Amino acid sequence: MAFQLLLNLAIAFAWMLLMRDLSVSGFLVGLLIGLLLMTLMRRFFPKPFYPRKVWACIKLFALLLKELVVSSFSVIGQIIKPKLTFTPGIFAYETELNSGWEVTLLCGLLNLTPGTLLLEVSPDEKTLYIHAMHIQEAHGVEKHIRETFEKAIMEVTRS
């Protein structure tokens, strides 16, 4: 993926120099021409085409932003209520992620989301102990984590 990205950037800069257009628009045109050339020759690259990974990273970032907004409003709603109606607790979550990098990314995303906090990771990196604001919804939280964060992380880190 890194080679493909560098090659696309090199094509864009070469286009800028050949056209004598050192502007942002000249760079963007060169980037698009490089992307088109690389699309035509993508079967010669051993790894998957890099725009898929870039798009997966953008989707993961958008998911994080969405989860931050939704969970922040949930926490604010609990704070401004006159009576606390949540029951915090800890539950064990079995992850399907394999590498330490994937588990670390999931831990960071969980800690950034208000209402959840990762407490510990088992030595085999398969079980995460998570503190949640609503322990009655632990099964729903597990399903939500698996369908959103884990799925997005696997799109980014795996081919």
Domain map (residue ranges) of the chain: 2-44, 50-157
Does the model's pTM come out above 0.85?
no
**DSSP strand E in the chain: where?**
89-94, 116-121, 127-132
Chain Cα centroid distance, residue 17: 35
pLDDT at 159: 62
On the question of pLDDT at 15 being above 70, the answer is yes
pLDDT band at 35 (very low <50, low <70, confident <90, very high): confident
